[in-house]
Amino acid sequence: MRAMVLEEPGRPLILKELPVPVAGAGQVLIKVIACGICRTDLHVMDGELTQPKLPLIPGHEIIGTVAAVGSNVTGIAVNDLVGVPWLGYTCGSCRYCRQNKENLCENARFTGYTIDGGYAECTVAYSKYCFRLADKYRDPASAPLLCAGLIGYRSYRMIDPATKNIGMYGFGAAAHILIQIAKAQNKKVFAFTRDGDTASQDFARNLGAWWVGGSSDIPPEKLDASIIFAPAGELIPKALKDLDKGGTVICGGIHMSQIPAFSYDLLWEERIVRSVANLTRADGLDFFQLLNTVPVHTQTELFPLAQANVAIDRLRKGQINGAAVLVMDLS
């Protein structure tokens, strides 16, 4: 099979011919249809996430069909359509797993980081951490739902349901999915992009953002909550400044640059800053159930597997509106 392989952080991926992996106990072999490129992949490749399996096949927004099942697999069969997310394995026995906080598992393994992922024609995954999908998700454009969608949704659920004014800082793959859910629930979305990024601002405006501006701009109303998707620590004091009393700032990324010092008055009046760590399988089940009643359309740019480095470079430069997706049968 063909695969794009990370041999050393900081270097481009290498296209290789590798043996098709074998599904072990509790695992399934998946013929990959498509794999989204997530900003987390950039953090892995750049060495900002410091404990990758090496060599590594990245990618954790996987859509594919089951080609074979290992022993002790139930509930998933050959030819089923499945999605594979970031959370690839948990132990089930540590103190966090016992508290139904598997996203914090002390022995967790992660797809495309400590387990080979989906930048390949085939991959293996633990069956209990795959989502069986309806046939409508066979479209490669569905791949970003497996992380951009799931992490955006987990972040969104941390906000008080009564919240009306929601800020989204960094209008990329996750925000363009989440705004569709928020609007369906009658929220007012305030979209913050890089200063001067008119393409992203037009993109947010076309998706129905109530207000659009640069990250340094002051919104016309105080915000009840904000989600920061951009990996920029300096946005935390800015988001707090834009926040109303009792509001919450959610940091939706796995990595962020250093947070500058800020005065206590920005946090006072019961404002909250919290992070999102990974996801749970329950998040995925709830998210895909929600999509049955709230149709979400992803905007994607498709690339053949061999052009992964081109797609990654364009994502890094902010040249992708929506999400980049690698498609295995795209020539």
Whole-angstrom Cα distance, residue 243 to residue 253?
19
- In the chain, the domains with their CATH numbers are 2-146+299-327 (3.90.180.10), 150-275 (3.40.50.720)
Which amino acid, 195? Answer: D
At residue 197, the pLDDT reads: 85
* Helical residues (DSSP H) of 139-296, grouped into ranges: 148-157, 173-184, 198-206, 235-242, 281-290
Per-chain mean pLDDT for the chain: 95
What is 196-217 written as a DSSP string?
T-HHHHHHHHHTT-SEEEETTS
Residue 58 has pLDDT above 90, yes or no: yes
Three-state DSSP at 180 gives: helix
pLDDT digits (tens, 9 = 90+) for 35-52: 999 999 999 999 999 999
At residue 102, the pLDDT reads: 97
At residue 331, the pLDDT reads: 61
Residue 174 has pLDDT above 80, yes or no: yes
At residue 172, the pLDDT reads: 87
Confidence of residue 301 (pLDDT cuts 50, 70, 90): very high
pLDDT digits (tens, 9 = 90+) for 264-280: 999 999 999 999 999 99
At residue 46, the pLDDT reads: 94
Angle at which helices 148-157 and 173-184 cross, to 10°: 50
pLDDT digits (tens, 9 = 90+) for 123-164: 999 999 999 999 999 999 999 999 999 999 999 999 999 999
pLDDT digits (tens, 9 = 90+) for 228-261: 999 999 999 999 999 999 999 999 988 999 999 9
Angle at which helices 198-206 and 173-184 cross, to 10°: 30
Residue 329 has pLDDT above 90, yes or no: no
pLDDT digits (tens, 9 = 90+) for 71-81: 999 999 999 99
Residue 330 has pLDDT above 80, yes or no: no
Q: Which helix (H) or strand (E) holds 15?
A: strand 14-17
At residue 13, the pLDDT reads: 97
Average pLDDT over residues 165-169: 97
Whole-angstrom Cα distance, residue 331 to residue 313?
19
pTM of the model: 0.92
